[in-house]
Amino acid sequence: MMPRSKLKVMADQPLRRSPFDDLVGTRIVEASGNGVVATLDVDSRHHQPTGIVHGGLYTTLVETTASVGASLWLGEDGIAVGVSNHTDFLRSHGEGRLRVEALPVQRGRTLQLWRAEVTDAEGRLVACGNVRLANLRP
């Protein structure tokens, strides 16, 4: 698992939020161009028919945190958009808070790679993923 870091929202960079984040219930707790931490309180709205979290939720958390961090790293020079998301589902989860932390693996002129880990309240890894992002500049 990745080490827990002390990240803070950078005061001089606005956090670009999506209405989708509000729909899902994602809360960005800490964010900078060097990493992002978010939480989500899971309930039955996030379940598949079997009563566990839908895998798309994990994928969403991974992509959201990676995109926020990658875009903050670019700052006013552009925005990063996901071009590939590979998320593995490792443990089922039914209710309670999930925590996701995304950190950069590689940041270049045109592409970035970020890795995110989703953990439950006990700190157990429930999902992890890599997101490749394209840097779009005006």
Catalytic site includes residue 63:
yes
- Length of the chain (residues): 138
Catalytic residue among 30, 63, 76, 117: 63
φ, ψ for residue 22 (rounded to 5)? Answer: -65, -40
The whole-angstrom separation of Cα 93 and Cα 104 is 26
- Sheet of strand 96-107, all strands in order from the earlier edge strand to the far edge: 27-32, 35-42, 96-107, 111-119, 125-136, 79-89
Which residues are known catalytic residues?
63
